[in-house]
Chain A
């Protein structure tokens, strides 16, 4: 029996296949899709462009900070800006986002400040933002675990009434995890208002998508009983429209949707990774032509919706942001040794307090050492 006999399509070529939803071509041409009409003003497109440029700059600066020893590690979002800004800007204030660890663009959309984002990678804390203030959960390092939290959160929203929805971010590698599949089952049978936003960036560190799935990921949703859609993850307009539609479906009682944002991890997995060991430079070249920012710039220039002064002002803003990112990082005070013991429990225990006091006394026993 061959794959064709059992109706399983082999993973398609790198273009994303015929079902890819696209509203802006790599050349910057605005196209329309019958299922995803999108009305955007010139100002909205300019704002999206600005977001894309700024988060890429933040990312470049963070990578540099890691190289200079200011961050322990950094997970670059290079290439995935449109997937994150498009979906992030589709969120309403009351929605709740559950990120993986590369969602710097989503964090940007939720108002997380650069220092709050970098503190985790500097090793100061586990994320400096307040999830209840930003409606962005803390980064999840364990792959896929957050999809269950997003689903449970959506079930709580369901019980509270109203029109809020939650969104879970994860990657192609995570789609193999038990937790993600359990989240699909839960969301489906409880009709939870959750959007599963999978950034298929083609690589889980060194493992290509073929090691995770024999069918396009968005098609998996069907087996769980809810719709799946593949969107051009390098097209900010398409990501905005598709995510907005999925969120609206969730808000109006139509349950979950799986959005597969078809994109590419342009950089290494993290600053500790060396992708030349497992993938070809030619592949990178193909995706360079589909850059998520260049196509918006081309569209804005050609349509006359932005002029040279606009692009210049974005460049200036970007330089300013780079400075802010840098100073937020290097000016960050080191955590105090006794911070180890804080907030282990909501209701304190004498045992942890005793360990804290013992360690404080031990530190005090070193003459002339301040802490």
Chain B
């Protein structure tokens, strides 16, 4: 066992992946000498050289487009998009190119490209630094999308993503980068594309991922004082979506609240609501409720505490669910 911050766990996971496979490359803005603006790639260029940890020109489409070319020749690029709001210039290369290479080549070309994106708000940043773009990518066939919520998952999930032969959008909860936890890096991780029940309960299922898992767990602790037992699921994989774990839980609790920072309209909560309705209709005691960002642009940072779901908004939804 050792203590890691989430950022350091990612750093160690990247280092291990680079040691294990000489084809693994890191590319992005400021990832080399600086070690990334969040220091996730700290020290890697020093140890693996400029050919494997590449400080790129400032052009996101270029980062993903050249990574595709490298992957076509057998490399496994790990691209860093510096902030969530900067991914859009690369949108065509991600959704029209990267996502489709395997399909359009009828499986002849694999695309083992990992795109790391620090996502979500809560750090008092200027605009375009606090967004949650996951639904765009989860909507895109050919991509896989995962989000880690804690240091142990960060370490294992980044390694599993890099080892995957499919392109993976890897979402990092930037406001949790500095949170610490103990874990054993040598322990065998579970499958990448599986949700996890992180707190068992019997009254209401609360699903969250990335930065909102902590909020959901805090809400469950608070609800316990009122004698309400929330079951908290860390979704971990947004595409493919492990709705099976959620449906199984809802069959027991009869109630579901989905929490994310992204606006609720057409978000992950909408898809989960649809699937649970399709697969567990007769188990539901209440409609599926969504707690998320509003359908507005992300507000200036002095308003973000009002925009972002917090413990009270989760508990409010739990109350509404139980009132049915």
Alpha-carbon distance between A131 and B101 when the two chains are bound, in angstroms: 11
Q: Is B228 an interface residue (CB 8 A)?
A: no
Q: Is B20 an interface residue (CB 8 A)?
A: no
List B contacts of A349 (CB < 8 A): 144, 193, 240
Alpha-carbon distance between A178 and B61 when the two chains are bound, in angstroms: 8
Given contacts A149-B65, A153-B70, A350-B240, contact A142 B106 (CB under 8 A): no
Question: Which positions 94-120 of chain B face chain A at CB distance < 8 Å?
Answer: 96-97, 102-112
CB distance from A199 to the nearest CB of B (A): 20
Q: Is B67 an interface residue (CB 8 A)?
A: yes
Let me know if B144 and A345 touch, CB within 8 A.
yes
Q: Is A336 an interface residue (CB 8 A)?
A: no
Let me know if B166 and A148 touch, CB within 8 A.
no
Interface size on A, residues (CB 8 A): 42
Residue of A nearest to B97 (CB): A145
Interface size on B, residues (CB 8 A): 43
Given contacts A131-B72, A142-B92, contact A148 B66 (CB under 8 A): yes
Chain B binder among A155-163, A228-236, A276-284, A292-300:
A155-163
Q: Is A138 an interface residue (CB 8 A)?
A: yes
CB distance from B142 to the nearest CB of A (A): 6
Residue of A nearest to B57 (CB): A185
Alpha-carbon distance between A148 and B164 when the two chains are bound, in angstroms: 23
List A contacts of B142 (CB < 8 A): 344-345
List B contacts of A127 (CB < 8 A): 104-105
List A contacts of B318 (CB < 8 A): none
Q: Is A179 an interface residue (CB 8 A)?
A: yes
Q: Which of B59, B102, B141, B164 contacts A182 (CB 8 A)?
A: B59
Q: Which of B64, B112, B142, B166 has the most CB of A within 10 A?
A: B166
Let me know if A148 and B96 touch, CB within 8 A.
no
Beyond A126-B103, A148-B65, A345-B166, 7 additional contacts (C-beta under 8 Å) are A130-B105, A151-B65, A151-B66, A153-B69, A153-B72, A178-B61, A186-B62
Q: Is B93 an interface residue (CB 8 A)?
A: yes
List B contacts of A151 (CB < 8 A): 65-66, 69
19 residue pairs of the A-B complex, CB under 8 angstroms, read: A96-B73, A125-B106, A126-B103, A127-B104, A131-B72, A137-B72, A145-B96, A145-B97, A148-B68, A149-B68, A149-B72, A156-B72, A160-B73, A179-B65, A182-B57, A182-B62, A344-B141, A346-B102, A346-B107
Question: Which positions 145-182 of chain A face chain B at CB distance < 8 Å?
Answer: 145, 147-157, 159-160, 166, 178-179, 182
List A contacts of B110 (CB < 8 A): 346
Alpha-carbon distance between A126 and B101 when the two chains are bound, in angstroms: 10
Let me know if A344 and B66 touch, CB within 8 A.
no
Question: Which positions 231-275 of chain A face chain B at CB distance < 8 Å?
Answer: none
Residue of A nearest to B77 (CB): A152
Alpha-carbon distance between A147 and B111 when the two chains are bound, in angstroms: 17
Question: Which positions 229-262 of chain B face chain A at CB distance < 8 Å?
Answer: 240-241
CB distance from A341 to the nearest CB of B (A): 10
Let me know if A142 and B69 touch, CB within 8 A.
no
The contact string, 1 if C-beta is below 8 Å from chain B, for chain A 122-134, is: 0001110011100
Alpha-carbon distance between A92 and B165 when the two chains are bound, in angstroms: 29
List A contacts of B68 (CB < 8 A): 148-149, 152
Question: Which positions 161-197 of chain B face chain A at CB distance < 8 Å?
Answer: 164-166, 193
Let me know if A345 and B96 touch, CB within 8 A.
no
List A contacts of B141 (CB < 8 A): 344
